[in-house]
Each structure stands twice: as structure tokens, then as C-alpha cells.
Amino acid sequence: MTISKITKSVTRVFLLSGTAILLAACNASTGNKTQDALELGGDLSQSEQESQAANLRAFCPRTILRGGTETLRLYADGVKKGDPGALNSLRFQSTITEVVRECNYRTDMLNMRVGIAGRAINGPTGETGTFQTPVRIAVTRGDEVLYSQLHQIPVTISESTSNASFRFVDSNVNFPIPDKPNVIVYVGYDEGPYDPPEKKKLQPVN
């Protein structure tokens, strides 16, 4: 399937109402709180083990839009977000409003497609043009990072408008099939500094 077809598919999903979206028989979830990871039982019969294995095959890791990373603001040169009157120098603001995912099991690997959508506006300066927005998608199992990719997503505000919508799909979220349903996908803006994935620990959301 081509990226354009995937994007069109995710676009149709974004137009659905509600905060929970079902994709490929998986429960989609967004929000700022995690739930306890599910654990498999102890001594089980063969039929129970087979049943749990089948359930695990249907497991699609939940996605979490991390609190505090859903909005990106760009200011005029030399201005920082904590400076007095910083909002008067705001050039651009982008907010992720939707996160969806789809899971496909292939031999010993789990392939996920993670899509985001959002809105962008320009600030009091009325600046238009294309802005690069750094979005990180990371898959974790406890303190272990299974996948981490920083995407520079271009968002364009044309001269005739003061806002724009955007969509993006990462189709290459691949990692070994988990042996327990305790994997979480984090999504959010990442302005750096950028540490290597093995050194960048993502703390659980409370």
C-alpha cells in the first residue's frame, strides 16, 4: 500500500467522531494517563495457553499523547517561551489533536502504522510559510525502548490564511512480537536535546 493511500485511509479515520477509534480490531486510545500493563497468568493448561497466545496476537499497543508535548510554539529569534511577553513574539503554534494506530502481525515481527493529525495557527506577527515540526514516535516496554524515530513534519500556512491542518503517518514502526501485552506507544513533539534512543528514557505517565 502506498503512503498516499495510507494517508487517505487515516484521513477518513480522523473524520470519525469520538475520542476512541477502532482500527484492525484493535482498541485505539489517546490521552495523558497510562493503565497498568496486562500480565499473563501463572500455570495454565495447554488450551488456556493457546487462548492467551491467540489473544496476544490480537494485542495492539495503546498510543499515548504525552501531556505537555501536544503543542509546539515557535517564537521570534532570541525569544524563549518563559520570557515576559513571549506570546507577543509567537510566530507559529502547532497542536496534535488525534493519534490513531493499526497493527499487523508478520511472522515474528509486529508492524504498526501510527498516524497523527492536528491544527496549526500563526501568531501575532502573522507569519506564514512552511514550518518544520519535530514529532517523536517511541515504542517502550518498561524502561526498554523498542523503537524511536524523530520525524520533521512540514506544516504550511498559506498567505491567504492564518491556520492549517496537517496529517502524518509513520508506517515503519516495527519491533519483535511482544511476549506480554505490556508495550506502549508514545507520541509528542520533541524539541531536543536529542539523546540516542538507548539513553533517552521515557518515564511512565502518571
Question: Is 26 part of any domain?
Answer: yes
In a 10 Å sphere around its CB, with 0-12 CB exposed, 13-18 middle and 19+ buried, how is residue 135 labelled?
buried
State the total domains in the chain: 1
Question: Is 160 part of any domain?
Answer: no
Question: Is 199 part of any domain?
Answer: no
**Residue percentage of the chain with pLDDT more than 70:** 66
pLDDT band at residue 21 under the 50/70/90 scheme: very low
Q: Reduced to 3 states, what is the DSSP secondary structure of residue 74? A: strand
The helix or strand, by DSSP H or E, that contains position 98, with its residue range, turns out to be strand 90-106
pLDDT of 51 > 90? The answer is no
Question: Is 76 part of any domain?
Answer: yes
Range of the domain at 76: 3-36+43-118+133-151+168-189
Question: Is 64 part of any domain?
Answer: yes
Question: Is 51 part of any domain?
Answer: yes
| pLDDT reported for residue 194 | 60
Q: Reduced to 3 states, what is the DSSP secondary structure of residue 86? A: helix
Residues whose CB falls within 8 Å of the CB of residue 100, separated by 6 or more in sequence, listed in order: 10, 13, 14, 21, 23, 28, 63, 114, 115
Higher pLDDT, 206 or 173: 173
The Cα–Cα gap between 149 and 184 comes to: 15
Question: Is 105 part of any domain?
Answer: yes
Question: Is 61 part of any domain?
Answer: yes
